[in-house]
Copies of this chain bind each other. A is one copy, B any other.
Amino acid sequence: MLNFYYAPDTCSLATHLALVHVGALFKTVRVDISKNDQNSSEFLQVNPLGRVPVLVTEDGSITETPALLLYLAQRYSDAYLAPIHDPYMLAVFNSFNSYLCSTVHIAHSHRMRGYRWADEPSAWDAMRRKVPVSVAECFSSIEKGMMRGPWVLGQQFSASDYYLLTLSRWLELDGVDVKQFPRVSNHRSRMMDIELVKRVISTEESQNMCAHGTPLIKIIEA
C-alpha cells in the first residue's frame, strides 16, 4: 500500500492524477497548508523539507514531482505514462518536467513565497509584481515548441500532460491570460474534459479541510 501526501491547489495534483491513472492502490493523506500542517512535527517526520507531494512506498519515501512521475511510469509500466525504453524521448519527458519544476513553478512561487529568497517585504512585493511577466515568459516557451502537440511529447500522452495541466491551472491567479497561448489553452481544455481529471480535482476540492483542533493530518481513503 502506498501513502500519498498531498495538498489541494499545489503541484501534488500531477502525482495524484498519475496515481489514479496507473490504477495504484493508495491512501491519500491531505496536508492543510492554510493551517501550516506542512511544518507540523508529524509531517516533518514524513518529509523534513515540509513539502508535498510525498509518496511513502514499501521501500521508503519519494519526493519531487519529476521523480514521482517517472517512478509511477516505471513501476506501472503497462500504463505507459512515460517512454521509459526510449532514452531520447525519456530525456524529452524528464527535461520538460524539470523545466516545469525548476523554472515555471519557481516563477509562480515568487507570488506567495518570496520569503524563501529575501527577508524584506518590499522585496516580496517586487517579486510579486514580476510574476505575470516571468510566468508568461515560461508559457510562451511552452507554447512555441516545448509542447510538441497535441500532447507534451507529441502524439503520445504522458504524465507530463498531467504536470502541465497542474501548472497551467494557476495562470489566471498568476495574472496571465491563458488566451495568449492558444495551444496551452487548448491542451488545458482537453485535459479538463478527461473524466479522471475531473474526478481527482473534484475529490481534492470537495474534501473538507480538517477542522481547527482536530489532528493536523487526516487520512482519507482514495
Which residues of A are interface residues toward B (Cβ below 8 A)? 48-49, 57, 59-60, 62-68, 70-71, 74-75, 87-88, 90-95, 97-99, 101-102, 105-107, 110, 116-120, 122-123, 126-127, 129-130, 134, 141, 144-145
Number of copies: 2
Residues of B within 8 A of A123 (CB): 118, 122-123, 126-127
A–B complex contacts, Cβ < 8 Å, 30 sampled: A48-B141, A48-B145, A59-B88, A62-B92, A62-B95, A64-B94, A64-B102, A67-B95, A68-B95, A71-B91, A94-B94, A98-B102, A101-B101, A101-B102, A102-B102, A102-B106, A106-B106, A107-B117, A110-B117, A110-B118, A116-B134, A117-B117, A117-B127, A118-B123, A118-B129, A118-B130, A119-B129, A122-B122, A123-B123, A123-B126
